[in-house]
Structure 1
Amino acid sequence: MLEWLNQFLGNHPFVSILDILIVWFIIYRLIGYAKQSRAMNLLQGIGLIIFAKFLSQGIGLQTIDWILGQVISWGVVALIILFQAELRKVLENLGKILFRNRQSSRNPSEELIEDLKKSLLYMSKRKIGALISIEAEDSLAEYIGTGTKLDSEISSQLLINIFIPNTPLHDGAVIITDFRIASASCYLPLSESKLIPKELGTRHRAAIGLGEKTDALTLIVSEETGAISIVKNDFLHRDVDKEELHELLNKYLFTEVEKDNQENENSHIIKNLLTMLRSSKGGKKNE
């Protein structure tokens, strides 16, 4: 069968175009992912080293060319060791594209959004600090394990009670997974970004740090100002009001329709490609 496909499509000009489009799409997605993480600086450094390698080779700087060759040869191993977390995330995202995780793509109910809104607005009015992370596609199991496991249903009363000052669970983050409170008083990774304004505290840095590593949605209530903020994919929405809070929760939590639309669009593209192949095949037969 592979030999038949090779004979049928091997010399077809459309296959070459499809090959270029696939490579372009992969590079495009990698650059898009790199812009949302520290990998962008890494790609720029790699590009500079490769450029210097070709330049030194062309000019005839043999010593520099040999050194850069060694750096590139051993750099692959070093990158795998240093960026194993980022590589794991890339592979996980690739698996999500090929095999959709239907268990985690369920839509939350209106009650969940109402409970989140009610608790956030209550704590905001009274300047009760809060940090709530909602698991999406990326697993938060390693962070759930750092806190006190609850595995309880979500309610505004419970969320408010957890963050009341001087209670055992108020310090840290609440993590919600599968529309249940999985754990409280959890430790989240702090962002080391220098772009974060200095007036933002540890809660905001933890929320942005989690957004840099996962696709979780994190809700923050400032203990100093009572302002509500939302972090998604290291993007920070600061000082959101009641209406904006409702809009953002709907936008980030109700994702099933958007995923279905994207799948339909991908299916439409594949059908068009197959149609072009069949049409081209029919044209050859007519000739």
Structure 2
Amino acid sequence: MPQYVRELFERVRFADLLDVAIVSMLLYVVIIWLRQKASRSLGIVAVGLVVLFGLAQWFDLYLTTLAYQYGSIAILITFVVIFQSDIRYGFEKLAASQFFLRSSVSGPSENLTGTLTEAMIFMARQRIGALVVIPMRDPLGRHIQGGVDVDAKISLPLLLSIFHPKSPGHDGAVLIERERIATLGVHLPLSRQVEKLQGSGTRHAAALGLAECCDAMVVAVSEERGTITIAKDGEMQVVDPTQLADRLRASLKDGHFAGGKRRPRYHGVTLLVSIATATMLWFTFAYNTDTIQRTFVIPIEYRNVPEGWEIAEPKPTFAELTLSGPEPAFNLLKPASAVVSLEVKPIAKGTRFPQWESESNLKNIPSELSVEQIEPRQVIVSLREKSEQ
């Protein structure tokens, strides 16, 4: 085995492996999140801020670094307020376990595509308005309002009766879940992109509005024009009736619709990229074979002095500590929290001159740092009763 490989195995700790694993999962979540269209602007801004901060550190930009140090909380609050919808969208995806698993879907049944195709073509010819929502992977809860739960088997007569002009729920949308009519009379958010609507009415504005918020597919029939339109991924397209069945079948299969049979399959490539990136970051910033020494002056504290007793002066109050180890280990050290902590009460019984080894009473020192020297090596004090003064 080559020498450098042997040294690598000797230096890698379990904590390092855990560190890489945690960063890998964080990168995995971020990459999957950024692949979603709604979160790309959030990712671009976040990456831009990180790059700007890195440049400020690299080129010693005093004012920029100062702005980051004192304005980080304000930047974070502004970030959350501006991108609250994207952040909420990401947590919804996380709650639905879409970050870690994707679905291998068997595709819609012929009954679903056949019934929808027949109903849409019939209503288009009769100039009957219709709006059908087919969820994919994203939850729809916060985007839709109202509606009546029916949970009925999908059929041509039922769809025609729901969208009949004299039906109370014909102006709302029908929600299809698990290849059944789950809810009717649902209200959808309206799109504000007038240029994409091209003079279409409220029904099409609702279809496009939902398609802009999530990955659901919405099929709309225009009662004025007698056309069939599919809205998906923030876009609308008029579909020829002869191609409707194929379009529905392809879109539902590719979009992992909510009624398909799911077989979990991990985002393997994304996971490998995340692990490789985290490993490279560890080698760049954490792995260091050079050993350095640093000296600190740390306080000595006396704990649990018996009631009615005190430590006579002079007593040691500071220790000079020299540590050695790799640079990343010193980055984990907080000098202000390092202390020699001495328990007085247990030792005080039977003696007025307790003593301690300084090194064995060190606190808050990372385990990968070694003590080269500490002065005083031993602490001896004199206890006296307060009445003896």
Q: Same fold, TM exceeding 0.5?
A: yes
* Mapped partners of 2:93, 2:235: distance in 1: 19
Which residue pairs with 1:249 in the alignment?
248
Q: Which amino acid aligns with 1:78?
A: T
Q: Which amino acid aligns with 2:243?
A: E
Mapped contact 2:220–2:229 kept (Cα < 8 A): yes
Q: 1:71 to 1:132 in 2, by over 3 A?
A: farther
The Cα shift of 1:111 comes to: 0.8
The Cα shift of 1:268 comes to: 12
* Mapped partners of 1:31, 1:268: distance in 2: 12
Q: 1:181 to 1:4 in 2, by over 3 A?
A: farther
Q: Output aligned runs, 1:82-231, within 5 Å.
A: 82-94=82-94, 95-99=97-101, 107-142=107-142, 146-193=146-193, 195-231=195-231
* Mapped partners of 1:251, 1:82: distance in 2: 36
* Mapped partners of 1:9, 1:144: distance in 2: 46
Mapped contact 1:162–1:170 kept (Cα < 8 A): yes
The Cα shift of 1:178 comes to: 1.6
Q: 1:207 to 1:71 in 2, by over 3 A?
A: farther
The Cα shift of 1:250 comes to: 0.8
Give RMSD over aligned pairs. Answer: 4.4
**Per-residue deviation, residues 222-263 of structure 1 (Å, max 9, x unmatched):** 122111111222232x22113321122111223569986x93
Q: Say which is worse superposed, 146-155 or 43-52, in terms of deviation.
A: 43-52
Q: 1:22 to 1:252 in 2, by over 3 A?
A: same
* Mapped partners of 1:92, 1:141: distance in 2: 10
Which residue pairs with 1:32 in the alignment?
35
Q: 1:84 to 1:166 in 2, by over 3 A?
A: same
User: Is residue 265 of structure 2 the alignment partner of residue 263 of structure 1?
Assistant: yes
Which residue pairs with 2:353 in the alignment?
none
Q: Which amino acid aligns with 1:112?
A: L
Which of the pair is proportionally richer in strand? 2
The Cα shift of 1:221 comes to: 0.7
The Cα shift of 1:183 comes to: 1.2
Mapped contact 2:115–2:154 kept (Cα < 8 A): yes
* Mapped partners of 1:195, 1:56: distance in 2: 42
Mapped contact 1:127–1:222 kept (Cα < 8 A): yes
Q: 1:51 to 1:132 in 2, by over 3 A?
A: same
**Per-residue deviation, residues 96-152 of structure 1 (Å, max 9, x unmatched):** 1424579xx564321111110011001111221111001222233456651122211
Q: Which amino acid aligns with 1:242?
A: P
The Cα shift of 1:89 comes to: 2.4
* Mapped partners of 1:268, 1:199: distance in 2: 42
Q: 1:182 to 1:22 in 2, by over 3 A?
A: closer
Q: Which has the larger radius of gyration?
A: 2
* Mapped partners of 1:65, 1:265: distance in 2: 37
**Per-residue deviation, residues 166-220 of structure 1 (Å, max 9, x unmatched):** 3211111111112111111111112233652441322222122212222211101
* Mapped partners of 1:196, 1:142: distance in 2: 24
Q: Which amino acid aligns with 2:150?
A: L
Unaligned ranges ≥5, structure 1: 274-287
How many residue pairs match? The answer is 259
* Mapped partners of 2:211, 2:182: distance in 1: 18
1:152 aligned counterpart, secondary structure: strand
Which residue pairs with 2:232 in the alignment?
232
Q: Output aligned runs, 1:60-71, within 5 Å.
A: 62=63
* Mapped partners of 1:229, 1:22: distance in 2: 40
Which residue pairs with 2:296 in the alignment?
none
